[in-house]
Amino acid sequence: MKKILMTGNEAIAEGAIQAGCTFYAGYPITPQNELIAYMAAHLQDRGGIFIQAESEIAAINMVYGAAACGVRVMTSSSSPGISLKQEGISYIAGSQLPAVIVNIMRGGPGLGNICPAQSDYFQATRGGGHGDYYCIVLAPASVQESFDLMRTAFELADKYRNPVMILGDGMLGQMMEPILAKGEGHMAYGNHKPYAISHKPKPWALTGCKGRKPNIVRSLYMAEGDLEKSNLKLQKKYKAIQAKEERWEEILVNDAEVVLVAYGSMARIAKAAVKSLRSKGKKIGLIRPITLWPFPNKIFWRLAVNGKRLTFLVIEMSYGQMIEDVRLALEGKAQVEFLGRSGGGIPTEEEIINKVREFADNNLTNSRTRELK
């Protein structure tokens, strides 16, 4: 099959269209503009509806409405724009609607800058808006994976009737790599039946209630006990997602003494550091979480309880957010170190290698003194 050269942003848009996204609303912001531009150029021609909304808030609410009608919907933005969308995302979660939201992160806080960053991890994995809810969060690390995960994103959204967030960063969105973009065989247009991909019927959708009882989509539950009942339903769903949907990539972890933990663009650089250190005989591996929520606890627990002395080095383009999930997963059973930069700085391969050397050497020489403390 022929490869094509695409930016991460374009691959996400193409992946979404091929996954049957038929409604997109967005508002431009760097560094995700290629995504909305691609949607503007292609979605209409391929049977979907594209709207450049008047604001991020309008876009997410259009997505909310379209999702209630049972079609596959998406919006995208970058950090400050995603903050604006949080009220809408909370409503979508509360109303149990499937929707895909893409965040191509830039530096923050505030308007920050347009450099790549991973500083919205907390926001993405802890719901983000008000209320007790979670988004499923997927973190691609290459242009190919950005394309591939879109189908997963829409399927998970439909399966659990839950918002799914794609969490990328400016580097991933802007860079071009060769990818295999599958044909348009499962696209819902042309000679194909509408919703040819695993579009199961959505009996809850607002499709016109001729001949049936009206469906109601809402997040407002005023009667006594109703909201608690609805929330318990959500919690049951979250438990099921946590049990079934953890995804990660592990590289050379089984004999490792040091395990790097990184996601997205950062994981690529960490992988290069692993190769480099392995070639010098260091026992080092990498865990790359692909779902950030649910966080892949299983692999951490498996490594932590096998009795070996193990150090985890969490590397992020932030000052330490995912590290909290790593610590929670390990429950104190292993040492956790951290390397992070943000606001435009990206930890380099060299910095990772130096950091590993620093604490690995300390461990050898100071392990006894550390125990005495």
Partner 1 sequence: MSYELRVKTMTEKIIIAGSGGQGIMLIGKILAQAAMMEGKFVTWLPAYGAEVRGGTAHCMVVISAEEIGSPYIDKADTLIIMNNPSLSKFKARLNQDGLLIVNSSLVSLSASAANIKKYPFTDIAIKLGNIKVANMAALGCYLRNKKTVALKNVLAVIKEMASKGKKDVLKINQQALQNLLVADV
Interface contacts to partner 1, rule CB under 8 A: 3, 5, 30-31, 114, 170-171, 174-178, 250-252, 265, 268-273, 275-276, 278-279, 346, 348-350
Q: Smallest distance from the beta carbon of 135 to partner 1, in angstroms? A: 27
Are 18 and 184 in contact, with CB atoms under 8 Å apart? yes
Q: Which is nearer to partner 1, 176 or 197 (CB)?
A: 176
Tokens of residue 61, six digits: 């609410």
Q: Smallest distance from the beta carbon of 251 to partner 1, in angstroms? A: 5
Q: Which is nearer to partner 1, 96 or 142 (CB)?
A: 142
Q: Smallest distance from the beta carbon of 57 to partner 1, in angstroms? A: 25
* Single-letter code of the amino acid located at 272: A
- The secondary element (H helix, E strand) that includes residue 79 is helix 79-94
Q: Smallest distance from the beta carbon of 341 to partner 1, in angstroms? A: 12
State the burial class of residue 346 (Cβ atoms within 10 Å of its Cβ: 0-12, 13-18, 19+). Answer: middle
Q: Smallest distance from the beta carbon of 270 to partner 1, in angstroms? A: 8
Q: Which is nearer to partner 1, 293 or 300 (CB)?
A: 300
Are 102 and 76 in contact, with CB atoms under 8 Å apart? yes
CA-based nearest residue to 268, from 156, 335, 177: 177
Q: Which is nearer to partner 1, 30 or 52 (CB)?
A: 30
Cα–Cα separations (whole angstroms), residue 48 to 44, 259, 265, 369: 5, 44, 30, 64
Q: Smallest distance from the beta carbon of 250 to partner 1, in angstroms? A: 7
**Spatial CB neighbours of 198, under 8 Å, sequence gap ≥ 6:** 155, 158
Q: Smallest distance from the beta carbon of 111 to partner 1, in angstroms? A: 13
Q: Which is nearer to partner 1, 60 or 284 (CB)?
A: 284
Q: Which is nearer to partner 1, 5 or 41 (CB)?
A: 5
Q: Smallest distance from the beta carbon of 219 to partner 1, in angstroms? A: 37
CA-based nearest residue to 254, from 314, 328, 310: 310
Q: Are strands 176-179 and 4-7 parallel, antiparallel or unpaired?
A: antiparallel
| HSE-up of residue 289 (Cα within 13 Å, Cβ side) | 31
Q: Which is nearer to partner 1, 141 or 310 (CB)?
A: 141
Q: What angle do CA 297, 99, 31 make, to 5 degrees?
A: 85
Alpha-carbon gap, residue 36 to 116, rounded angstroms? 18
Q: Which is nearer to partner 1, 78 or 95 (CB)?
A: 78
Q: Which is nearer to partner 1, 8 or 127 (CB)?
A: 8
Alpha-carbon gap, residue 310 to 293, rounded angstroms? 24
Q: Smallest distance from the beta carbon of 170 to partner 1, in angstroms? A: 8
Backbone angles phi, psi at 39, to 5 degrees: -60, -45
